[in-house]
């Protein structure tokens, strides 16, 4: 009897091995925690909602034969997260982790694609690391919205994402023609609208409306981008641009992610 490869187990093992190898490099300073991997069906109508609300590209737009988005998250070691709490500048460890985790994430995409190749699956990357749209104040494709669709957690301030392993770390994703996601709920238009509104509230951007940010969070923002009404994404982006000219994402600052 032929017993097939447990591809999800293989992907996890290969990811863990790649992280160990990456951390062993003498030029790498960042230490990482336990990775998580999620699987979302590209036919889930939640992706159509993201696309029609222009909060993310659609996976089928990126890779037509794709049936599953494989999302990976590698948390930073806790001391890196703590080093970024308070102050007006991102900590050195946070900045280094941002850059090094980007290299790791690219490597993990390669590792997952190689694993999928062993079971005859096609796959495609979702974006380039510097994919950032300054008009929309977001990346074209959102790994985190894919993570949300895969049930990996919920959003936090400025588009941060809270997983079981915390909010600090690096997301990446690839799309494959293999079918690995759990069955999704057939969501009605009203349910999709409710999910959209919930995500907007979790982001705590001003557009969501209502007093949603406390004094501590307002004070924690070095960019003056937070008021009681919420986060002003343009002001946030302007501040983040002073840290990283090419990727002015809230990830490079992250001071409000703790609230
Ligand atoms: S500038 Fe920093 S603290 Fe302020 S909203 Fe943006 S990410 Fe959060």
For residue 159 and ligand 1, the question of a CB distance below 6 A is answered with no
CB 144 within 8 A of CB 159: yes
Residue in this structure with the two tokens 């981008």, named with its chain if needed: 225
Using the atom order of ligand 1, give the atom closest to the CA of residue 226.
5
Q: Would you place residue 3 in the very low, low, confident or very high pLDDT band (cuts 50, 70, 90)?
A: low
Domain ranges within the chain, ordered by starting residue: 7-204
- Regarding pTM above 0.85, the answer is yes
Higher pLDDT, 11 or 184: 11
* Spatial contact of 48 and 193, defined as CB atoms under 8 Å apart: no
253 C-beta closer than 6 A to ligand 1? yes
Task: Determine the pLDDT at residue 254.
Answer: 97
Q: Are 62 and 56 in contact (CB under 8 A)?
A: no
Q: Tokens 């982006």 sit at which residue? A: 237
Confidence of residue 1 (pLDDT cuts 50, 70, 90): very low
Pick 7-204's CATH classification: 3.30.1490, 3.40.390, 1.10.287, 3.40.109.
Answer: 3.40.109
> What three-state secondary structure class fits 59?
helix
Rounded CA-CA distance 42/26 in Å is 39
Cα dist. 100→82, 94, 129, 170, 224 in Å?
Answer: 18, 10, 12, 10, 28
User: Do 236 and 200 meet the contact criterion of CB atoms below 8 Å apart?
Assistant: no
Q: What is the pLDDT of residue 185?
A: 83
Mean pLDDT check: name the lowest of 68-72, 76-80, 126-130, 252-256: 126-130
What does pLDDT average to over the chain?
Answer: 94
Average the pLDDT over 4-15 and give the result: 94
Which of 46-50, 59-63, 182-186, 187-191 shows the lowest per-residue confidence on average (mean pLDDT)?
182-186
d(CA 191, CA 120): 36
Question: What pLDDT sits at residue 210?
Answer: 63
Measured CA distances, 145 to 8, 33, 56, 226 (Å): 21, 22, 7, 23
Nearest to 213 by CA among 226, 201, 222, 224: 226
Q: Whose CA is nearest to atom 4 of ligand 1?
A: 221
Condensed to tens digits (0 to 9), the pLDDT of residues 132-158 reads 899 989 988 999 999 999 999 999 999
The response to whether residue 256 sits with its C-beta less than 6 Å from ligand 1 reads: yes
Q: What is the pLDDT of residue 5?
A: 84
Is 80 exceeded by the pLDDT of residue 68? yes
Segment 2-11 shows an average pLDDT of: 85
Cβ neighbors of 78 (< 8 A, separation 6 or more) are 33, 166
pLDDT of residue 211: 59
- Is 213 near ligand 1, meaning CB less than 6 Å away? no
Q: Is 76 in the pocket of ligand 1 (CB under 6 A)?
A: no
Q: Are strands 68-75 and 169-176 parallel, antiparallel or unpaired?
A: antiparallel
Ligand 1 atom nearest the C-alpha of 224 is: 4
Q: Measuring CA to CA, how many Å separate 111 from each of 15, 74, 78, 127?
A: 7, 14, 25, 16
Q: Does the structure show a pLDDT above 80 at 2?
A: no
Q: How much is the pLDDT for 131?
A: 81
Identify the sign of the CA torsion 140, 141, 144, 150.
Answer: positive
CA distance 138 to 127: 13
Bridge pairing between strands 154-155 and 161-162: antiparallel
Q: What is the pLDDT of residues 164-199, one digit of tens each?
A: 999 999 999 999 999 999 998 889 999 999 999 999
Q: What is the pLDDT of residue 212?
A: 77
Q: Which of the two residues, 140 and 107, has the higher pLDDT score?
A: 107
46 in ligand 1 pocket by Cβ < 6 Å? Answer: no
Mean of pLDDT values over 196-206: 93
């Amino acid at each position: 009897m032929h017993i097939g490869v447990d591809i999800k187990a293989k992907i996890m093992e290969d990811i863990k091995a790649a992280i160990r190898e990456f951390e062993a490099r003498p030029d790498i300073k960042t230490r990482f925690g336990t990775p998580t991997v999620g699987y979302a069906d590209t036919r889930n109508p939640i992706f159509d909602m993201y696309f029609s609300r222009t909060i993310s590209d659609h996976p089928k737009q990126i890779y037509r034969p794709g049936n599953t988005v494989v999302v990976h998250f590698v948390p930073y070691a806790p001391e890196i997260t703590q080093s970024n709490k308070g102050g007006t500048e991102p900590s050195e460890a946070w900045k280094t982790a941002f850059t090094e985790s980007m290299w790791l994430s690219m490597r993990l995409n390669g590792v997952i694609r190689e694993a999928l190749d062993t079971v005859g699956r096609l796959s495609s990357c979702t974006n380039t690391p510097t994919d950032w749209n300054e008009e929309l104040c977001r990346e074209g494709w959102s790994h985190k919205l894919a993570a949300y669709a895969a049930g990996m957690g919920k959003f936090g301030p400025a588009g941060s994402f809270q997983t079981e392993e915390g909010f600090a770390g690096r997301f990446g994703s690839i799309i494959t023609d293999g079918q690995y996601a759990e069955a999704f709920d057939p969501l009605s238009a009203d349910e999709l609208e409710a999910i959209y509104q919930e995500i907007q509230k979790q982001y705590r951007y001003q557009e969501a409306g209502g007093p949603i940010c406390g004094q501590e969070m307002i004070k924690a923002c070095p960019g003056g981008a937070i008021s009681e009404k919420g986060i002003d994404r343009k002001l946030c982006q302007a501040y983040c641009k002073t840290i990283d000219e090419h990727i002015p994402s809230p990830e490079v600052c992250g001071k409000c992610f703790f609230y």
